[in-house]
Amino acid sequence: MVLCTHEHACGGPFNPIIDGWLSREPFTSHRAGNSMKGSSISGAWLEGDMQYVDGHEEQSQEAQPSSSWRSHETASSRDNMSVDSSHRDTDSQEDATPVVPRSRIQTRISVLTSVEQLMLRNDYKREALDLLKNQTYHHVRISEPFFFIKTGLKADMTRAFSYVGWYNFADMIEPGLKFLTMEFLMSLSFEETDNTTEIYFCFFDEQYKLTAKELSVAVGFDKKCLLDPSVLSKTYKYDRTTWWDKISEEPVSSKNSIVSIHNPTFRMLAKWICMVVHPRSDLRLSRLPELQYLFAMAKKIKLSPVMSMLAQWQKMIAGKSPIDITTLVMRIATHVKALDNAQVTYLPWEDEYQLLVGVEHFVQGYMTREGPSNSLFMTYPRYDREVELPCPRLSTR
């Protein structure tokens, strides 16, 4: 293994960046006959007009509880929890501002401090609750802050979140709610109405309805975000194979690995999406939706992943991974004012309820290694080159 000095890694022939992201020059291995193609996306990070999001827009949209939640509790719309992720809102909804007046007057205290207080009104909910009782619940998965400081990539990642309209979403500090998350998941369903996706869920045995746009805003995505990822291919000429070839040398497949991505910032972004947007136990692979979101970040396209997140959430009931969307459920409940005058039990901040991803995870995943004097290197399996972190030239200007 050949170690690169900081100067060599940033300025030599191994330089996986272009405009702060991808390489203009060949990514060449020291091993004879094994060279990585140059990831040459001309101006990929600088194309289009700058759309910086300051992340402090006030979100005032509220959801109104359904007038009669039992009227919506039909076998076709409430008991069938299968989300067809191909159903999307149309592009015409991009600038829609979801404002739904709330008419309920709080006259009672809503209480949910134990699983016995959950109301089970049909067989599906009873079966779902039996599964959810055996699951483990955590706060949202995060990376250890000190690890990000060592990489020097946090500022670049924050900039990427701003470009794609995820600035507020990525800043998760709220505590999680276990029992409210259980109620949310076992009541979650959707239906298509006049080119609009309507999502139904319950808090405190009261049903709420949000459009996909409203739910996107509720969890923290910018209100200008597009909801339909197909717009990437229709308008921005996105092609999965072409895009993957520009950020990696590995042949495109259904099992493309994150470690095959050349650029360190894209690597970390892909890993973060696997942890937070589509949480799962296997964080090694970069799937189709995640490649679309990386493309949107590179092209500065505001795109919400809320539809693919819905599909992921509905798989959690029978899944084997810890349920770590409790913070997002907290945001949704706050958005619809379900927590006003409510008594709930929050997840403790103890270690057993937090999933922290640190340097050990990235070392085991062959993405990084620790060097002398607490130094950190970005590694590339099958290649002799490494990038010492932090590397100033990896940051955009």
- What confidence tier does 150 reach under pLDDT thresholds 50, 70, 90? confident
Range of the domain at 220: 6-96+106-394
pLDDT given at position 199: 97
Cα angle vertex 357, ends 1, 283, to 5°?
75
Task: Tell which wins on pLDDT, 74 or 172.
Answer: 172
- Lowest pLDDT segment from 43-47, 119-123, 275-279, 354-358: 43-47
Within 10 angstroms of residue 388's Cβ, the number of other Cβ atoms is 19
Answer yes or no: is 111 within a domain.
yes
* Average pLDDT for 72-85: 41
252: left (phi over 0), alpha (psi -120 to 50) or beta: beta
pLDDT of residue 65: 57
Kindly state the average pLDDT of the residues 34-38: 41
320, 135 contact by CB (below 8 A): no
Question: What per-residue confidence (pLDDT) applies to 360?
Answer: 86
Compute the distance between CA of residue 227 and CA of residue 303 in angstroms, rounded to an integer: 6
Lowest model confidence (mean pLDDT) among 11-20, 93-102, 217-226, 361-370: 11-20
Task: Tell me how far apart the alpha carbons of residues 295 and 286 are, in angstroms, rounded to a whole number.
Answer: 13
- Band of the pLDDT at 395, cuts 50, 70, 90? low
- Residue in the structure block whose two tokens are 């049903």: 207
Q: Cα 265 to chain center, whole Å?
A: 16
Across the chain, mean pLDDT equals 77
Q: What is the pLDDT of residues 183-223, one digit of tens each?
A: 999 999 999 888 889 999 999 999 999 999 999 999 999 99
Please report whether residue 267 resides in a domain: yes
Please give the backbone phi and psi of residue 226, each rounded to the nearest 5 degrees, phi first: -70, 155
Instruction: Examine residue 1 and state whether it is found in any structural domain, yes or no.
Output: no
The mean-pLDDT minimum among 44-48, 154-158, 340-344 falls in 44-48
| DSSP secondary structure of 236-287 | H---HHHHHHHHBSSPP-TT-BGGGB-SHHHHHHHHHIIIIIS--S--SB--
In a domain, 344, yes or no: yes
- What is the Cα–Cα distance from 149 to 78, expressed in whole angstroms? 45
pLDDT > 90 in the chain, percent: 46
Residue 84's nearest CA partner among 332, 308, 318 is 308
Give the C-alpha separation, 183 to 332, whole Å: 13
Q: Is the pLDDT of residue 227 over 70?
A: yes
Helices (H), 133-174: 145-151, 154-164, 167-170
142-152: average pLDDT: 82
Average pLDDT over residues 223-238: 96
Question: Worst-scoring range by mean pLDDT, 106-115, 240-249, 263-272?
Answer: 106-115
Distance CA 208, CA 280 (A): 27
pLDDT at 107: 55
96 vs 58, 65, 208, 230, 304, CA distance in Å?
A: 16, 20, 20, 19, 14
Q: Which of the four pLDDT bands, split at 50, 70 and 90, describes residue 63?
A: low
The confidence band for 393, taking pLDDT boundaries of 50, 70 and 90, is low
Count how many domains the chain has.
Answer: 1
The whole-number average pLDDT for the span 38-65 is 39
Residue with token string 């101006």: 43
Asked whether the beta carbons of 226 and 91 are under 8 A apart, the reply is: yes
Provide the token pair at 80.
């069938």
Q: Tokens 């890993």 belong to which residue?
A: 271
* Cβ–Cβ < 8 Å for 175, 349: yes
CA angle 383, 362, 171 (to 5 degrees): 130
pLDDT, residue 89, reads 43
39 in a structural domain: yes
Q: How far apart are CA 253 and CA 18, in angstroms?
A: 25
Cis peptide before 392 (omega within 30 of 0): no
Assigned token pair, 377 = 């290197």
DSSP H/E element including 377? strand 376-379
- Taking the C-alpha atoms of residue 140 and residue 219, their distance in angstroms, rounded to an integer, is 13
Higher-confidence residue of 89 and 335: namely: 335
pLDDT at residue 83 tops 50: no
Residue of higher predicted confidence among 129 and 320:
129
Does residue 363 lie within any of the structural domains? yes
17: pLDDT strictly greater than 60: no
Segment 340-389, tens digit of pLDDT:
999 999 999 888 888 778 888 888 888 889 888 888 999 988 788 888 88
| Residue 205 falls inside a structural domain | yes
**Burial group, residue 280, by CB count within 10 angstroms (0-12, 13-18, 19+):** middle
Global pTM exceeds 0.85 = no
